[in-house]
Amino acid sequence: MPKIYTRTGDKGETSLWDGTRVPKDHPLMKINGLLDEAFSLLGAARSVAPKVLREEIFCLQTLIMDIMTFVARGKKEYSLPDAKSLEVKIDLYQDKYPLNLYSVLSKRGKFIVPGESLGESLLHVARSIVRAAEREAVSAVREGFLDERILPLLNRLSDFLYILAVACIFEEFVERLVKVLYRELTSLWKEEGGGIMTRNTGKELNLEDALVILEAAKKKAREINVPMVIAVVDEAGMLVAFNRMDGALPISCDLAVKKAKTAALIRMPTHEVADLVQPGKPLYGLQSDPDLCCFGGGFPLKRNGIVVGGIGVSGGTVEQDIEVAKAALEVFK
């Protein structure tokens, strides 16, 4: 392992990629120092951001490393990433996360005051640091130390961090909404007359029930000659029984569990949930939750009109998944 300290910078100098020695307060080093701050801060943001955004934040960290290499390349050749690739992402994110929605969620109106969540705030701090790097880059370009192509790239980078902060607060709002739905909906199965909340014994889904459901689903899957993955969960979305038939696709393992969980928690078939998460519909945004699935093939399991669990089937077309799940429901009436 190389040593942490080398003493080569003890006199206030450092090296560019081509070996050129420059003072540590050189314009290029000031830019990279700020980008390094933003890079590190994005690591903190990634650790607390909603799961659906973490990969995107990681990609931004990789981009910043590329920019830092370009800044410190000296006379070496190194390709600068194109700002247009960020513009494409910004447009996609802005379509999904409108800025006017941000003003509603942050309750601040036109002027954005960070602080609704830790992830959002960290992304805004990273954005402000990139803005500072951009200002230093303006001076460096003017003095001839740097290619002017870096200016639009840094500008778009800060813009993308802004829209990521918008996405962060939106996705965290969705996560909170899901938790509220979970708490409220899972309490319904326990509710009895007079408003007294007690556990309704005799209406639970047990392992014996789940195994019977699995066998019925497997029988139908064999009839249509499609290997399936079948999952059965209880009223809280916890797995009770699971079966992957020989030949079923690996990805179906995850989808079947998510379908069952979604059907149990939302209290409706997943193909009906799919309609409700479209833009303008009541549950729009719920499709972003990584633990839920809005593809057809999930159904709530009811006993005496009360949801006691859910079944999820995956492996064929949506129609085939629904057909197999419905066959399993027949044995649980």
Please determine, for residue 179, whether its predicted confidence score (pLDDT) is greater than 80. no
Task: Work out how many domains the chain is built from and give that number.
Answer: 2
Compute the distance between CA of residue 226 and CA of residue 143 in angstroms, rounded to an integer. 68
Q: Is residue 265 part of a domain?
A: yes
Q: Is residue 191 part of a domain?
A: no
Note the helical H segments in 97-149.
Answer: 99-106, 118-142
| Inter-residue long-range contacts of 53-56, CB under 8 Å, 24+ positions, other chains counted | 53/119, 53/164, 53/167, 53/168, 53/171, 56/89, 56/164
- Provide the mean pLDDT of the chain: 84
Is residue 174 located within the same domain as residue 221? no
What is this structure's pTM? 0.55
Distances in Å between the Cα of 132 and the Cα atoms of 30, 118, 136, 161, 309 are 10, 21, 6, 14, 53
- pLDDT, tens digit, 9 for 90 and up, residues 81-110: 889 999 999 988 888 876 655 554 454 545
Q: Are 120 and 102 in contact (CB under 8 A)?
A: no
Residue 57 has which token pair?
């934040």
pLDDT at 242: 96
| 226-264 exposure pattern, b = at least 16 Cβ within 10 A, e = fewer | bbbbbbbbbbebeebbbbbbeebeeebbebbbbbbbbbb
Q: Is residue 195 part of a domain?
A: no
Is residue 177 located within the same domain as residue 49? yes
Among 272, 247, 244, smallest CA distance to 256 is for: 244
Q: Is residue 270 part of a domain?
A: yes
**DSSP class of 226:** -
- pLDDT, tens digit, 9 for 90 and up, residues 220-233: 999 999 999 999 99
Compute the distance between CA of residue 260 and CA of residue 40 in angstroms, rounded to an integer. 39
Is residue 144 located within the same domain as residue 275? no
Is residue 142 located within the same domain as residue 29? yes
Contacts of 320 (CB under 8 A, 6+ apart): 224, 226
pLDDT at 202: 45
Domain assignment of residue 211, given as a range: 207-330
Give the bridge partners for 229, in sequence order.
244, 314
Domain final residue, candidates 182, 197, 215: 182
Is residue 216 located within the same domain as residue 315? yes
pLDDT at 6: 74
How large is the average pLDDT for residues 141-166?
93
Is residue 222 located within the same domain as residue 288? yes
Is residue 86 located within the same domain as residue 177? yes
Q: Is residue 148 part of a domain?
A: yes
The pLDDT confidence band at residue 19, using thresholds 50, 70 and 90, is confident
pLDDT at 193: 41
User: What's the CATH code of the domain at 295?
Assistant: 3.30.450.150
- pLDDT, tens digit, 9 for 90 and up, residues 274-329: 777 777 666 666 666 777 888 899 999 998 888 899 999 999 999 999 999 999 99
Is residue 150 located within the same domain as residue 211? no
User: What's the CATH code of the domain at 94?
Assistant: 1.20.1200.10
| 138-171 exposure pattern, b = at least 16 Cβ within 10 A, e = fewer | eebbeeeebeeebbebbbbbbbbbbbbbbbbbbb
Is residue 178 located within the same domain as residue 228? no
pLDDT at 11: 75
Q: Are 292 and 329 in contact (CB under 8 A)?
A: no
Is residue 136 located within the same domain as residue 226? no
Distances in Å between the Cα of 91 and the Cα atoms of 124, 234, 274 are 19, 41, 24
- pLDDT, tens digit, 9 for 90 and up, residues 37-83: 999 999 999 999 988 899 999 999 999 999 999 998 877 788 888 89
Is residue 178 located within the same domain as residue 292? no
